[in-house]
Amino acid sequence: DGGITQSPKYLFRKEGQNVTLSCEQNLNHDAMYWYRQDPGQGLRLIYYSQIVNDFQKGDIAEGYSVSREKKESFPLTVTSAQKNPTAFYLCASSEDYGVGAETQYFGPGTRLLVL
C-alpha cells in the first residue's frame, strides 16, 4: 500500500528531553511537510522540504529541527527549547512544490504529550 506512516501514535516527553517523530512515505513524493495542530485550531506549518538535503522553516519553526537525508523520510525533532510541545503533529507529502501548491497527502498523526 502506498501512503505516509507516522510513528509513534502517542509520544510522551519529559521536561528537558528531545524527542523525534518519524515520518515515512512511499509515494515517491519530492516535497514533505510537518504541521502542528492544537485543539480547535487549524494546521500551522513547522518545516517543509522540497527536495532531499534541503528544508526551510515554516511559520512556527522555533524549538523544532528536521533532516531530509532520504527522499522517503522526514523526521521531526521536538527540542527542549519548545516550551509548549503538547499538540497533534501531522506529516504530509506532495508530488511537487512548484508554482501552485498541489494536493497534500497526510499521515495519521502523532500526539505528543508532556509528562
Partner 1 sequence: SQQGEEDPQALSIQEGENATMNCSYKTSINNLQWYRQNSGRGLVHLILIRSNEREKHSGRLRVTLDTSKKSSSLLITASRAADTASYFCATDSTGANSKLTFGKGITLSVRP
Judged by the rule CB under 8 A, the positions of this chain that interact with partner 1 are 4, 6, 35, 40-45, 48, 56, 58, 88, 90, 92, 97, 99-109, 111
Question: Of the two residues 81 and 113, which places its CB atom closer to partner 1 in the complex?
Answer: 113
CB of 42 to partner 1, least distance (A): 4
Question: Of the two residues 35 and 64, which places its CB atom closer to partner 1 in the complex?
Answer: 35
Taking the C-alpha atoms of residue 46 and residue 64, their distance in angstroms, rounded to an integer, is 8
- Give which of 101, 91, 114 is closest to 5, Cα–Cα: 91
CB of 63 to partner 1, least distance (A): 20
Rg, the chain, Cα only: 13
Taking the C-alpha atoms of residue 113 and residue 115, their distance in angstroms, rounded to an integer, is 7
CB of 93 to partner 1, least distance (A): 11
What does each C-alpha distance from 20 to 7, 41, 79, 98 come to in angstroms? 9, 23, 9, 28
Reduced to 3 states, what is the DSSP secondary structure of residue 108? coil
Question: Of the two residues 85 and 107, which places its CB atom closer to partner 1 in the complex?
Answer: 107
Question: Of the two residues 82 and 104, which places its CB atom closer to partner 1 in the complex?
Answer: 104
